[in-house]
Amino acid sequence: MRFKFSQILVLFVTPCLLLGEAALIQAGKAEEKEESKPGQAFHWLELKSTLNGQVLGTSELGRLNLTNQIDRGAEVERETVQVDSQTVKTVERVYRPDANGRRKLQDVTEVELRTFPDGRVEAVQTRSKVDVNGRMQVWRQQRQETRSLGQDNWETTSSVLKPGPTGNLTTVYRTRQTERKGTDNVVRVERIVEEPDLNSRWSVVEQRSATIQENEGETIQQETVYEMSPFGELSLKSQISSIEWKDEDGGVHRTIDTYQPNSRGKMDVVERIELSEVTLRDGTKQSVQELQTRSSPNGSLQVVERVAQDLSKSRTGDTIENIRIERRDVYGKMSPAEEFRRAQTEKETGPGKKSFTSKPN
């Protein structure tokens, strides 16, 4: 049974972990639901964004990631290699045209993921880009480890490093997240983010608490976010409420509300994201994402951006992606803002090797 949204709000007493847009390495959503092995359900932890962790496959819909798509001229090539029985390495290269229109390598991301027999997962992600001298330089590295704390209980630690004044990689923040599934089938997540202060001492700058519960075909997620105030103490920044459900035709829908305290100290909805995805008879997947915000503190929520994405197969077997973006104009009407098309090709390139290419079409 699907709750009305007014009924849902009564349930949002404790926090919710919003499964956000984070870099993800997985075999597929269906496999993630059925398989809880770390290598299958691995997720990166990102600063100031949340995501499902090692054992949580509860949310099917996340925000559409338009980073590469909006970069119209970009071509993305990704190769995945099974190095050995425990290690998978992925290299992603992004090419953009230079001033003369020639295809030129601009960004490289290397990920090495290693799964151990005891279920522990170690991962290193290194991102490099071309500097002003045309040389490829590392600008960010993330190191992450996930280990089991028992059945359906996990701990993930993550460190992000960036080049310091001398060029050496220095840790700029670190994260610790625990996920525990209780006998009531509710998953409770605790997350702490630390940064070094001026004296190189680590201090907590963000703390998140969350619960995730599946109930009669619905997934209800509740999250509370605290951040360090200028006075040196953690204070409430926001609460995030999310519900996901399927309709009778198999379409998946999700509503994500973000609340923040107003001038009177009460929590007001400041942003709402509506997501939906349907699969047509010919296999085409259609996704729609709407962003709603307030034009003023006392104003009502209104749609300010709508993104529609179609994924279909061509006769040659490529995946064709069509993106249409509408935004609210100065007259208050939704108007077409961008429209573009990309072709995605995936293929086996050898024993234990897969390649992926995405480019404008």
Tell me the pTM: 0.77
Q: Which of 31-45, 70-84, 304-318, 345-359 has the lowest mean pLDDT?
A: 31-45
* b/e sequence 280-315, b meaning 16+ C-beta within 10 Å: eeeeeebbbbbbbbbeeeeeeeeebbbbbbebeeee
Give the domains, in start order, of the chain with CATH numbers: 5-360 (2.40.160)
| The pLDDT of residue 350 | 78
* Structure-model confidence comparison of residues 358 and 14, the more confident one: 358
- Neighbouring-strand partners of residue 241: 222, 257
Q: Which of 73-77, 281-285, 290-294 has the lowest mean pLDDT?
A: 73-77
| The pLDDT of residue 251 | 93
Is the per-residue pLDDT at 293 higher than 90?
Answer: yes
Give residue 70's pLDDT band: very low, low, confident or very high (50, 70, 90): low
For 197-202, the CB contacts below 8 A with 24+ separation are 202/174
Question: How does pLDDT run across 200-209, given as a tens digit for each residue?
Answer: 899 999 999 9
Q: How far is CA 339 from CA 69, 72, 175, 361, in A?
A: 10, 10, 38, 12
Q: Which of 54-63, 127-136, 182-191, 234-243 has the lowest mean pLDDT?
A: 54-63
* b/e sequence 191-223, b meaning 16+ C-beta within 10 Å: bebbbeeeeeeeeebbbbbbbbbeeeeebbbbb
Question: How does pLDDT run across 327-357, given as a tens digit for each residue?
Answer: 999 888 999 998 888 898 988 887 778 888 8
For 161-169, the CB contacts below 8 A with 24+ separation are 163/137, 163/138, 163/139, 169/138, 169/141
Give residue 361's pLDDT band: very low, low, confident or very high (50, 70, 90): confident
Is the per-residue pLDDT at 23 higher than 50?
Answer: no
Alpha-carbon torsion, ordered 225, 191, 2, 327, to 10 deg: 60
Mean pLDDT (whole number) for 4-32: 34
Is the per-residue pLDDT at 15 higher than 90?
Answer: no
Average pLDDT across the chain, whole number:
82
- The Cα–Cα gap between 361 and 345 comes to 12
CB contact at 8 A, 160 and 140: yes
| The pLDDT of residue 224 | 93
